[in-house]
Amino acid sequence: AQKVTQAQTEISVVEKEDVTLDCVYETRDTTYYLFWYKQPPSGELVFLIRRNSFDEQNEISGRYSWNFQKSTSSFNFTITASQVVDSAVYFCALSVPDTGRRALTFGSGTRLQVQP
């Protein structure tokens, strides 16, 4: 079975601070995909990144960066110089294609509040 843990339920920062959202996953499969989604108050999920299990390179996209560490089964997400518009719930998710279960297993989400 797969599991995704986001231990931080809610984080509050002041604008321009850096913030890291933690994600720890569990799976016995060697082939899997990890995702991060942003869910603003409107409810619509906004895709941020997908990473496959064979690519441990860290990725940077503007103010966003992701640190994938297989050794610790973590896929952490950092927002640099946070902005009020970053306020949302962020979900980490996992899919394991080889099991035929292609649906995403989501973590419980981290609510980020960026104060002006």
Partner 1 sequence: GAVVSQHPSRVICKSGTSVKIECRSLDFQATTMFWYRQFPKKSLMLMATSNEGSKATYEQGVEKDKFLINHASLTLSTLTVTSAHPEDSSFYICSARPLAGGKDTQYFGPGTRLTVL
By CB under 8 A, name the binding residues for partner 1.
Answer: 33, 37, 42-45, 47, 50, 52, 91, 95, 97, 102-109, 111
Q: Do 74 and 53 meet the contact criterion of CB atoms below 8 Å apart?
A: no
Q: Which residues pair with 48 in a beta bridge?
A: none
DSSP letter string over 5-31? E---SEEEEETT--EEE--EEE-S-SS
CB of 106 vs partner 1, minimal distance in Å: 5
Of 16 and 108, the one with the shorter C-beta distance to partner 1 is: 108
Of 7 and 81, the one with the shorter C-beta distance to partner 1 is: 7
Residues 107 and 13: their CA atoms lie apart, in Å, by 21
CB of 47 vs partner 1, minimal distance in Å: 7
Of 47 and 71, the one with the shorter C-beta distance to partner 1 is: 47
